[in-house]
Amino acid sequence: MENYELRVNKQKSFFRTNKTKNLAFRLNALQKLRTAIKNNETELIEALKLDLNKSEFEAYSSEIGMILEEIRFTIKQLRSWMKPKKVKTPITHIGSTSFIYSEPYGVALIISPWNYPFQLAVAPLIGAIAAGNCAIIKPSELTPKTSEILSKLLEKNFPEEYISVVQGGVETSQALLNEKFDYIFFTGSVHVGKMIMKAAAKNLTPVTLELGGKSPCIVHEDANIKLAAKRIAWGKFMNAGQTCVAPDYLYVHHKIKNEFLTYLQEAIKDLYGEPRHLTRIVNEKHFKRLCSYLNNGEKFLGGKINQEQLLIEPTVLTKITWEDPIMQDEIFGPILPVLEYDEIADVIEGIHHHPKPLALYLFTESENVQQHIVTNISFGGGCINDTVYHIVSPYLPFGGVGTSGIGAYHGKGSFDTFSHKKSILKQTTLFDIPLRYPNIKNGLKKIKFFLK
């Protein structure tokens, strides 16, 4: 196992040259990254096909295109984000001005998962570059073709003292975590997230943890049922349900359940009826885990599997309760369990008994129900009358809360995540208000006038 101290130290030395702090340097790096991705588009699509059988449409829209758009947005905004932000100064500080500087942390470690192996490694990298950091990326070992292309692409375009990729599995990740980084950005499971935080705690390294969990999707009696069915089918079954923010399970109002399920069946057939285009389950372990859920409740739709190709048909299970095995952990696959409810209070109660979700989706036309759910349930983020779409807006920072994660990114959120906010008070030397000094006459009385 390589000792990563040398690699990290090289980046630390490079960071100290201050080159990465320069606006033109950062813009150039982002532009270079964009061009390199465009030039390697075909290879990336092929790699994603080999690793996960992703269709060209999914590979482009949810991995490549999304990243190109994020880079474009960042390049456009970076100059203004980097400017020290002037803020107000209280009356007690008269004569001075106040600024917040965004300063890069230094060397960042980015550890990413397999489900969107390109996008989830590069999206944080954009933030790291924009904020002026150096970065070491440890992509997933479970999608080796994509990790290989990513590694080559970055090696070819950036010196390793600035950006480098370390390929490998758990041991590699652990060896990297033995080094002292200035920031750790982790995307992956809750279980491993805890280990990352523990490793970071040794050096008090700040972390972002983008984790997972069971994200509920509620379909209320007054929802636009047909549209809800289509948007849910899309969000759940893209990438074979292997999306951290996919609706994990449905809560459907009993009055509209049958009608909704009919529309859902149609939508699934329309969007994912062609088996050729199904994304595969990443490996046999996950395939077996998912197959073990197929006999939970009652099968409403799907359920066919192809063990050789690791494919599972989009599946909908009804008559599900919180006691079923499928409701114990994040599903992360193309199986959608359906719970029924009568009262929205029961939904809130059910969700409250479980860890805070990464995402929540609500389909209803009622403003009251919308406000009620948004203000009564804690979750990372989500959509009203849609699924998944919130994570592709650069204006909405994306992240979890509680066990679904710490911190957020995307758009300016990424720049802020990789920047330390350094507050500076610039004091005048033209006069010196004596108020704070202990030796002024009636000092306590005067100070009490201001600090009350």
Specify the residue, 132 or 411, whose C-beta has the smaller distance to ligand NAD. 411
* Residue corresponding to tokens 């997230």: 193
* 194-223: contacts with ligand NAD (CB under 6 A): 195, 210-212
* 109-168: contacts with ligand NAD (CB under 6 A): 111-115, 120, 138, 140-141
- Alpha carbon of residue 275 to chain centroid: 28
Using CA of residue 61, residue 65, residue 71, residue 77, what is the dihedral sign? negative
Stretch that binds ligand NAD, among 34-42, 182-190, 232-240, 271-279 (CB under 6 A): 182-190
Among 77, 151, 157, 189, binds ligand NAD (CB under 6 A): 189
Our CA angle for 290, 294, 298, nearest 5°, is 150
> Residues near 34 by Cβ (< 8 Å), separated by ≥ 6?
68, 71, 72, 75
Taking the complex as a whole, the smallest distance from the CB of residue 209 to ligand NAD amounts, in Å, to: 8
Query: Is 192 near ligand NAD (CB under 6 A)?
Result: yes
Number of H-type helices and E-type strands within the chain: 16, 18
Name the catalytic one among 244, 313, 330, 383.
244
Structural element, H or E, at residue 337: strand 335-341
Specify the residue, 44 or 408, whose C-beta has the smaller distance to ligand NAD. 408
Distance CA 187, CA 405 (A): 9
Specify the residue, 83 or 191, whose C-beta has the smaller distance to ligand NAD. 191
Phi first, then psi: what are they for 108, rounded to 5°? -105, 145
Structural contact between residues 113 and 239, judged by C-beta atoms closer than 8 angstroms? no
> Residues near 237 by Cβ (< 8 Å), separated by ≥ 6?
268, 271, 272, 314, 334, 336
Concerning whether 210 is annotated as a catalytic residue, the answer is: yes
| Pairing assessment for the beta strands 311-312 and 163-165 based on DSSP bridges | unpaired
Stretch that binds ligand NAD, among 24-32, 58-66, 106-114, 319-327 (CB under 6 A): 106-114
Radius of gyration in angstroms for the set of CA atoms belonging to the chain, rounded to a whole number: 25
Taking the complex as a whole, the smallest distance from the CB of residue 144 to ligand NAD amounts, in Å, to: 12
Taking the complex as a whole, the smallest distance from the CB of residue 398 to ligand NAD amounts, in Å, to: 7
Taking the complex as a whole, the smallest distance from the CB of residue 359 to ligand NAD amounts, in Å, to: 9
Taking the complex as a whole, the smallest distance from the CB of residue 358 to ligand NAD amounts, in Å, to: 6
Name the catalytic one among 63, 70, 161, 210.
210
Specify the residue, 45 or 176, whose C-beta has the smaller distance to ligand NAD. 176
Nearest to 426 by CA among 101, 107, 207: 101
Specify the residue, 104 or 380, whose C-beta has the smaller distance to ligand NAD. 380
Query: Is 41 near ligand NAD (CB under 6 A)?
Result: no
Nearest to 107 by CA among 61, 63, 166: 166
| Total residues in contact with ligand NAD, by rule CB under 6 A | 27
Distance CA 82, CA 419 (A): 10
Specify the residue, 195 or 227, whose C-beta has the smaller distance to ligand NAD. 195
Specify the residue, 176 or 344, whose C-beta has the smaller distance to ligand NAD. 176
* 324-363: contacts with ligand NAD (CB under 6 A): 330, 332, 358
Among 11, 53, 55, 187, binds ligand NAD (CB under 6 A): 187
Among 23, 87, 94, 170, binds ligand NAD (CB under 6 A): 170
Distance CA 107, CA 135 (A): 5
Query: Is 97 near ligand NAD (CB under 6 A)?
Result: no
Burial class (CB in 10 A: 0-12, 13-18, 19+), 275: exposed
* Residue corresponding to tokens 């984000």: 81
Concerning whether 217 is annotated as a catalytic residue, the answer is: no
Q: What is the set of active-site residues?
A: 210, 244
* Positions that interact with ligand NAD (CB under 6 A): 111-115, 120, 138, 140-141, 169-170, 173-174, 187-189, 192, 195, 210-212, 244, 330, 332, 358, 400, 405
